[in-house]
Amino acid sequence: MNAPARISRRLGASGTANALELRGVSKLFGALVALEDIDITVRPGERRAVLGSNGAGKTTLFNCITGDFRASAGSIRFFGEDISTFPPHERIRRGLRRTYQISLLFAGLSVLDNIYLACVGVSRRRFSFLRPRRDDSLMAAAGELVEMVHLDADRDTLVSNLSYGQQRQLEIAMALSGAPRFILFDEPAAGLSPSERGDLVEILNGLPAHMGYIIIEHDMDVALRVAESVTMMHNGRIFREGKPAEIEQDPEVQALYLGGGDG
């Protein structure tokens, strides 16, 4: 296929296809069914919250989407392209990003260098034997991300010296490196103080409109402020899907999750 055709196919794919389309995705760990027959469709630019109790399969779902785990069955399409069999780095290079529930950062590197590494990973300079120059474009991009997550004062601080909240912010900056098209946030608000949660909501709502995401969040307050649709998971299955208001009002959801069981 020649280059223009490839580009137009890509553009076409982004224009018409869904950002993320899961069909019949299952994941088994031996006899344990972690995910069962998951169908999820997310439009480009859509912001979705995934709710569910511990063990509902939320993080496993993320791991299947990013390729950390290979799904046992089903297909995953990313902007129209079947990525089910792709290794993680190929999925990331296509514009998928994720943050981790437990921060996985490089503790011996500075804030800026962590983000720089994330920018290098999705560039063609991955294998470069040359150190970044003073006017390096990726370094400049990393600098902008530092400002975006309000870590300017700590750009040269080693990650091991950051507070927990700052580390979570750094995780988000790393997920925004390159040209992300869709991001998976795995409990970004966990362990944050109320004011840090406010910052997080501000960062998420400040993302460009075309940048859709799925956010796993226990805190309904945060989830409902940053998402326009909600998927409720239970025991590895999809339990409900809908607008935040509908989900909040659903008696079964309340019984299961919101602690309104006796009401």
Partner 1 sequence: MALADNRLASDGRDRPTWFERVPPAYWVGGFLLLVMPSFASDFILFQIFGWTFILGIIALSLMFLAGYGGMVSLAQMTFAGCAGYMVAIFGTSAITDISLGWPWFVAIPLALIVAVLLGTLTGWLAVRTEGIYTIMITLAIAAAFFYFTRQNYVIFNGFSGFNGVLPPQLFGVDWRGSTAFYYLTLFWAALCYFAVLYISRAPFGLALQGIRDNQRRMSALGFNAIAHRVAAYAFAALLAGIGGILLTWQSAQISPGTAGIGAAIDILVVAVIGGLRHPIGAFIGAFIYVILKTFALDALEAIGLAGERFQLLIGLGFLLIVFWSPDGVLGLWARWRESRSRDPLLERGGERP
Residue 103: closest CA among 193, 221, 191: 191
Give the total of residues touching partner 1 (CB under 8 A).
45
The DSSP output letter for 36 is E
Q: Which stretch binds partner 1 (CB under 8 A): 47-55, 73-81, 134-142, 193-201?
A: 134-142
User: Which residues share a beta bridge with 241?
Assistant: 231
Among 109, 190, 220, 258, binds partner 1 (CB under 8 A): 109
- 68 interacts with partner 1 by CB under 8 A: yes
Spatial CB neighbours of 215, under 8 Å, sequence gap ≥ 6: 47, 48, 49, 50, 185, 188, 204, 223, 226, 227
- 60 interacts with partner 1 by CB under 8 A: no
Q: H-type helices in the chain, by residue range?
A: 3-16, 58-66, 88-93, 111-121, 137-148, 164-175, 194-205, 220-226, 244-249, 251-253
Q: Which stretch binds partner 1 (CB under 8 A): 34-42, 74-82, 108-116, 188-196?
A: 108-116
- 100 interacts with partner 1 by CB under 8 A: yes
- 55 interacts with partner 1 by CB under 8 A: no
- 69 interacts with partner 1 by CB under 8 A: no
Among 42, 118, 214, 253, binds partner 1 (CB under 8 A): 118
How far apart CA 177 and CA 116 sit, in angstroms, is: 8
Give me the least distance between CB of 127 and partner 1, in Å please.
Answer: 5
DSSP assignment of 73-109: EEEEEETTEE-TT--HHHHHHTTEEE--SS----TTS
- 102 interacts with partner 1 by CB under 8 A: no
- Three-state secondary-structure class, residue 260: coil
- 33 interacts with partner 1 by CB under 8 A: no
Residue numbers of the site for partner 1 (CB under 8 A)? 66-68, 87-89, 92-93, 98, 100, 104-110, 112-113, 116-118, 120-122, 125-134, 136, 139, 143, 155-156, 158, 160, 174, 177-178
